[in-house]
Amino acid sequence: MSVVKPICNQKEANDEVVVIVWDVFVRLFHWLLVVLVATTAITGFLGQEWWLNIHLWAGYGIGLMITLRLVWGFFGTNYARFSSFIFRPGKTYDFTRQLLRGKPDHYTGHNPAGALMVFALLLVLTGLTISGLIVLGGQEKQGILAGVISYALGSEVAEFHEIAAFLLLFMIAAHIGGVLLESYLSRQNLVRSMINGRKNVPLVKAAIAGKVVLVGKALFAISIIAVMAGALVWSLMRLPVSGFKVIKQNSAYASECGECHHAYHPSLLPESSWNKILTGLSDHFGEDASLDREVVKILNQYLKLNAARHWDTEAANNLRRVSAKDPLSITASPYWVLRHKDIDERVFKRNKIASKGNCIACHIDAGSGRFDDQMINVPDE
């Protein structure tokens, strides 16, 4: 199938013909990517925890789109192929000079500056997708990399993810600016071209036949990638989550501590704090919570074995830094305060919450120590 087909049939050499430059895939890819990137940007920059899933699905969508675009870049129609818009540095330099003089050469597909932006955008988006997966695996202990990435690495990469996201915003602005500039200089609406695929092309250039889509090769490449990705995901998902395990709650802990308050997961405090709590039970946050020595012994063993340093979760990594003034209180720790600073005090007074210490009122998975962003549900009353 040749996609570059003259639509009107004029004969003069100076005349222009209308040609379909951007095929259906390229156009769909472009606008879907716009929607997906906008979604990740909104959910990422305005970062509400319960939006994480939307951010993730849009991110997966971007990953899929880029994969398909790469395949299409090798086997797609003429102007979609990377080979049609890889320019020698000299050409790019010439084009830039022409652009500065306001008289750039005509390119039917991407011009050298636009081409550079396309590659840069693909590169940055790939980087964002991969770094996003690393952050998800390391910090949240979710996704395909949950078994192989440490919290520390996830946090390092989170910085990169953020910087790349800001960079992307600037690149998008430059991309839009470039399109508007070229539209103005070439007197045609390039935004509309990305919608209907059509561009006015000098008759001479339209004569260059479009390359035929290599459907078989494209499908083959996609199948290979799908099988490889599938095998990778499958083997990664079989790995146990690094630094997290489901533990059986100690029955003494559940009954003795869980009678008055949610039985806090042992990973939420360092061993030193648990120790102080157990030795000071007769004045436990303003109440007498004294216990038999035998019971205290059992609790001590359980808490020591499962205190914060034995975990690599987000909660354990951060809550192990306790407040210097109030080292026994989880809710006094700098991280706890930081993460809850935007919540109105009145919310904590709600009937179903009652106090800041009632983690499980809002964090459905508090009992496991995971505290997933998606597991937050703040009661309305």
Judged by the rule CB under 8 A, the positions of this chain that interact with another protein are 259-262, 282-283, 285-292, 352-355, 357-358, 361
| Shortest Å, Cβ 242 to another protein | 32
| Shortest Å, Cβ 277 to another protein | 14
Closest among 42, 45, 70 to 58, alpha carbons compared: 42
Nearest CB to another protein, comparing residues 26 and 361:
361
Nearest CB to another protein, comparing residues 159 and 287:
287
Distance, CA of 163 to CA of 176 (rounded, Å): 20
| Shortest Å, Cβ 167 to another protein | 45
| Shortest Å, Cβ 313 to another protein | 22
Closest among 285, 220, 217, 230 to 257, alpha carbons compared: 285
| Shortest Å, Cβ 318 to another protein | 21
Give the torsion through C-alpha atoms of 360, 361, 364, 366, to 10 deg: -20
Which pair of structure tokens corresponds to residue 44? 């990422």
Nearest CB to another protein, comparing residues 215 and 354:
354
On whether the CB atoms of residues 52 and 108 are closer than 8 A, the answer is no
| Shortest Å, Cβ 120 to another protein | 52
Distance, CA of 327 to CA of 270 (rounded, Å): 9
Distance, CA of 154 to CA of 139 (rounded, Å): 5
- Residue in the structure block whose two tokens are 């290599």: 214
Nearest CB to another protein, comparing residues 155 and 358:
358
Beta bridge partners of 17: 201
Nearest CB to another protein, comparing residues 45 and 285:
285
Neighbouring C-beta atoms of residue 343, cutoff 10 Å: 12
Distance, CA of 304 to CA of 269 (rounded, Å): 10
* Residue 68, H or E segment: helix 52-75
| Shortest Å, Cβ 298 to another protein | 15
